[in-house]
Amino acid sequence: MSINDRFNQIIKHLYSNNKSAFANAIGVSPSVVENIVGKRHGKPSFDVLEKICAIEQIDAKWLLTGKGEMLQSQVPTTSVLPPRLTKDLHKDDTGIESYQSYPERIPGSIPLVSEKAVGGIINEYFNVRENDILGYYVIPKFRNLGVDFMIEISGDSMVPRFYPGDIIACSILHNPKFIQWNKSHLLATEEQGLIVKRLMPGETPDCLQAVSENKEYPPFFIPKEEIKAIALVMGSIHVE
């Protein structure tokens, strides 16, 4: 089995054959992935290999040589979950899922970012400062979706889709030209900070229409130059 075949295995088993989700998860463009798994069968760079081993619990020896198993064995660290993540969060023979917390990032874990971290992530890459991270979590439902970070939201403009205190899982759009219209996105803006809205095409090519779920909030237009970064909302955690 070639390393290209092993890339295909990762995409098949961990990302449901979604090459774009895999590319988002490791922080490369879809063309880089296509160059490796497509007809060209190009060889991945060391940088790409390092990103895969850092984000997913892929066994480096297996990735490079094909020997052993694809996934590393992991021993969870004991930690206390934030109050909003403590209800029905274990998976055993009953089928209920387990949200495991780790004090530092391990392969496959997702950082939960403080809602006060606005200043640290308003840039084109949604860079997050280490001291803005509340913890790292392994959440099975988000595993194959290319989630980059999670953040708690406030305000009621997206009710009933999202409620204040909900935690949303976000996948950074490295190429904002490919926006999924009518889907919820997290926007890092110059004037308004972080906002969550459904996005639609604007009146002109240089703006986007931001739509709230709460009908009391009318849609409005945002100039593209005002938007510093966009992330697609892949899912959410809501506790009554």
Reply yes or no on whether the pLDDT at 205 is more than 60. yes
Mean pLDDT of the chain: 78
7: confidence class by pLDDT, cuts 50, 70, 90: very high
pLDDT digits (tens, 9 = 90+) for 167-190: 999 988 877 677 899 999 999 888
Domains of the chain: 3-65 (1.10.260.40), 83-237 (2.10.109.10)
- Give the confidence band of 105 by pLDDT, cuts at 50, 70, 90: low
Give the lowest-confidence range in 5-19, 48-62, 151-165: 48-62
pLDDT band (50, 70, 90) for residue 106: low
Amino acid 107: pLDDT: 67
pLDDT at 175: 73
Q: What is the spatial distance between Cα 201 and Cα 226, in angstroms, rounded to a whole number? A: 15
Please give the backbone phi and psi of residue 13, each rounded to the nearest 5 degrees, phi first: -85, -30
CB 68 within 8 A of CB 59: yes
Q: Among 27-31, 156-160, 175-179, name the most confident range.
A: 156-160
* pLDDT tier at 129, thresholds 50, 70, 90: low
Structure letter (DSSP) for residue 132: G
Contact assessment for residue 230 and residue 176, using Cβ atoms and an 8 Å cutoff: yes
DSSP secondary structure, 142-181, as one string: GTTTT--EEEE--SSTTTTTS-TT-EEEEEE-SSTTS--T
Alpha carbon 229 to its chain centroid, in Å, reads: 13
Q: Nearest-CA neighbor of 211 among 223, 220, 203?
A: 220
What is the structure's pLDDT at 98? 43
In the DSSP assignment, the letter for residue 121 is H
**pLDDT one-digit tens code per residue, 85-98:** 333 333 444 343 44
Q: pLDDT by residue (tens digit) across 31-48?
A: 899 999 988 889 888 878
pLDDT band at 115 (very low <50, low <70, confident <90, very high): low
Give the H or E element holding residue 199. strand 193-201
* Predicted pLDDT at 95: 42
For the chain, give the percent of residues with pLDDT over 90. 26
Does the structure show a pLDDT above 90 at 198?
A: yes
